[in-house]
Amino acid sequence: MKPAGRNNGSLTRRGLLARGAALAAAPYFVPSTALGKDGRPAPSERIVCGGIGLRNRGGHDLRWLLTHPEVQFVAICDIRRDQRDKVKDLVDNHHGNKDCKTYRDLREYLPSRPDIDVMLIATGDRWHALASMMAMKAGKDVYCEKPGTLAIADGQALVKTAERTGRIFQTGTQRLSEAKFAFANELVRSGRLGKVHTVYAHLASWTPLPRFDWLEEQPLPAVDEIDWDMWLGPCPWRPYNKRYVDGGWRGFYDFHSGDIGEWGSHTIVQCQDAIGCRDTNPIEYVHPGNDTGEDMELRYANGIKMILTRKGWHGSCGVRYVGTEGWVSIADGYLAPEVSSPELLSEFDSIVAGYSARTQRTLNHMTHFLDCVKTRRQSVSNAVVAHRGMGTCHGANISLLLGRSLKYDPVKEAFINDPEANRLRRRSWRQPWHV
C-alpha cells in the first residue's frame, strides 16, 4: 500500500491553491432555479413532500398540494404497483423530470428519506393513525385525511406522538377552512344566535351498523403488484379479496368507522369547534332506540346538546345551530348559509374577514397547513381536534354497538361504570405493528 502523499491522488496545499485560482478565473454561474428566478422558490424556501396511499381522495389532495409552487414532491409509497406508477407519472409530469421515487413498504420508505419535510397520507381509515405516528416519529409534518383514528386509544397515542415529536399535524376536515362554514361557527361564537342550546350534525347514510363478517377468499396476487399483508397493516388478518383493495372495505368493522365516523369526522368536529368543545367530548350518549344512530343525542358539560341526523339538509356534511335568537344551517353545495333572518347574512364578508384576522388562518385548508409548517403554529385541525372529534364519533358508535346509553368522563377519557364500553375504546393491533 502506498503511503499517503502527493503521488497517490491526495490534494496538496499547492494543488488546492492552483484549483482555487482556476475556479476564481472561471465565469461564476448560478442556475436561475437555484435563485428562484424561474417563478419557483429558491431551494431554501421549498417544502419537500412525500405521500402514502394517494388514490381517489388522495389524488385530489395531491393535485391540491401541487398547486403550491413551494412544494417539491419527491416520493410515493403505496401497496399497489399501478397506483405507485400513476402517482409517479403525475408528479414527474408536473415537475418536468423523472425524479419521483416509489416505495412499497413504509418501514423502508420513512427512515430512508430524511430529506422529506411533509408527508401527505390518504390511505384507508385503518392506516391513518399508525402511518401518521410513524411519519411524525421519522421527523415529518403530516397532513392526513379523515377520519384520523379508528379507536379512542389511537387518538390518545396520536396526540402524544405529536406533542413528543413537535411535528405539525393536520387532518383533512377541510370545512374548518371554508368561508361558509367558518361564518356559521362565528355566528355561534359571537352570540348573534343568542344562547345556542342545540346543534345538529349530518350523518352519512350507507352503513349504520358495521359488518363483522368478511369477503370470500381470492388468490393472492404477487406481492409487488398488491402487498396484501401491508394493506391490512395493524388490522386482524382477513383473506384477500380485490374488492377490499378497490375501496370495498367500507362498512366492515375491521377497517371502517361507519356512517358516524365517515361524515361525523367533518360534522361533529365542526359542531364541537362552534360550541367551544374542540378539546373535549360529550358527557352522555343517549341511545336513540334504533340501530342507525338517527336522532342520537349527545350532551355536553356546557349544557348544549348535539343531535345526529340524516335529515334537514339538501347537501352533504351539513351542520345546523339553533339558539334563542336564531339559527343557521350550512352544507356542501349551498350558495350561502340558510339563516332564520336575512339580517344575519348582511355581515357575511366582514364576519369571515374578522375570523381570518383574529385567527391568522387562511381559508384554504392545504395552504393553511403549509403556513403552519413554515411558522410552526398549531393547525386548525391539529391532533387534539382530530382525536376529540373522532373520540365523539367512537363514543356514539360504541353506544350503538352496545344498544344502550352511556355516560362519559372527557377528562379521564373513560366511560363511567361501564367496563364493557371501556374495552371498546381500544382495538387490538396485529403484530408486528405497534405505537
Phi and psi for 74 in degrees, rounded to 5? Answer: -125, -10
Number of domains forming the structure of the chain: 2
Least confident of 7-21, 37-51, 79-93: 7-21
* 354 found inside a domain: yes
pLDDT at residue 162 tops 50: yes
- Strand order in 326-330's β-sheet? 338-339, 326-330, 319-323, 196-202, 305-309, 296-299, 284-286, 406-409, 414-415
Q: What CATH number should be reported for the domain holding residue 109? A: 3.40.50.720
Same domain, 346 and 358: yes
Same domain, 129 and 191: no
Same domain, 200 and 160: no
* 114 found inside a domain: yes
Reported as a single tens digit per residue, the pLDDT across 132-154 is 999 999 999 999 999 999 999 99
**Grid cell at residue 222:** 404477487
Same domain, 116 and 68: yes
What mean pLDDT comes out for the span 189-193?
97
d(CA 363, CA 366): 9
d(CA 74, CA 78): 14
Q: Is the pTM of this model over 0.85?
A: yes
Q: Where residue 31 falls among pLDDT bands split at 50, 70, 90? A: very low
Same domain, 143 and 292: no
As to burial, measured by CB atoms within 10 angstroms (0-12 exposed, 13-18 middle, 19+ buried), residue 328 is buried
Same domain, 60 and 93: yes
Q: Where residue 39 falls among pLDDT bands split at 50, 70, 90? A: low
Same domain, 162 and 179: no
Same domain, 183 and 54: no
* 155 found inside a domain: yes
Same domain, 154 and 303: no
pLDDT at residue 3 tops 50: no
* 405 found inside a domain: yes
* 231 found inside a domain: no
Same domain, 179 and 152: no
Q: Where residue 1 falls among pLDDT bands split at 50, 70, 90? A: very low
Same domain, 131 and 187: no
* 121 found inside a domain: yes
Query: Range of 55's domain?
Result: 42-174
What mean pLDDT comes out for the span 242-262?
94
Same domain, 166 and 266: no
* Last residue within a domain, chosen from 124, 156, 174: 174
Q: What CATH number should be reported for the domain holding residue 407? A: 3.30.360.10
* Last residue within a domain, chosen from 155, 174, 193: 174
* 239 found inside a domain: no
Provide the mean pLDDT of the chain: 91
pLDDT of residue 435: 77
* 10 found inside a domain: no
pLDDT of residue 378: 96
List the end-to-end C-alpha distance of the chain, in Å, as a whole number.
Answer: 51
